[in-house]
Homo-oligomer: A and B are copies of this chain.
């Protein structure tokens, strides 16, 4: 469904918007203004940014951009299906999205259930375990999520029972 490999150039970076346009067009989709704006938000951030539909709406609204939730949700789905974004459910019943940086190893998350702080960690053995368990039962793995819930050090301190 997606290959984030730079196609040809001995150049540093191909024009990213053009790349996205290509990706979308390959599926008969269009790189609209709104989709571009959403992409920019994700690309503005470095690894470790996790945004909800609401976050994106606020972001764009505060910049004077008018966009509807329907459009945001639609764009997010498309970008996930193209492999541009990764979808994670950090808080129950709420989805977050992060840029699926091509050269970055898959990672997992710790979430503070008090303040919502999210930190990440890489751990190859988790992938290994997943593959092993999947193979053991002839199960074709599509994705896996490992999330640790608890209290960050700050929230532990401020939690006076």
Q: How far is it, in angstroms, between the C-alpha of A148 and the C-alpha of B136 when the chains are bound? A: 13
- Contact with A153, one of B138, B142, B153 (Cβ below 8 angstroms): B138
Q: From known contacts A110-B137, A129-B123, A137-B110, infer whether A146 and B149 are also in contact, taking CB-CB under 8 Å.
A: no
**A149 near B141 (CB under 8 angstroms)?**
yes
Count of A residues near B, CB < 8 Å? 35
Q: How far is it, in angstroms, between the C-alpha of A142 and the C-alpha of B139 when the chains are bound? A: 29
**A139 near B151 (CB under 8 angstroms)?**
yes
The verdict on A8 contacting chain B, using a C-beta distance below 8 Å, is: no
Q: Hey, which bits of chain A sit against chain B, CB under 8 A?
A: 89, 92-93, 95, 110, 112-113, 119, 121, 123, 125-126, 129-130, 133-134, 136-153, 156
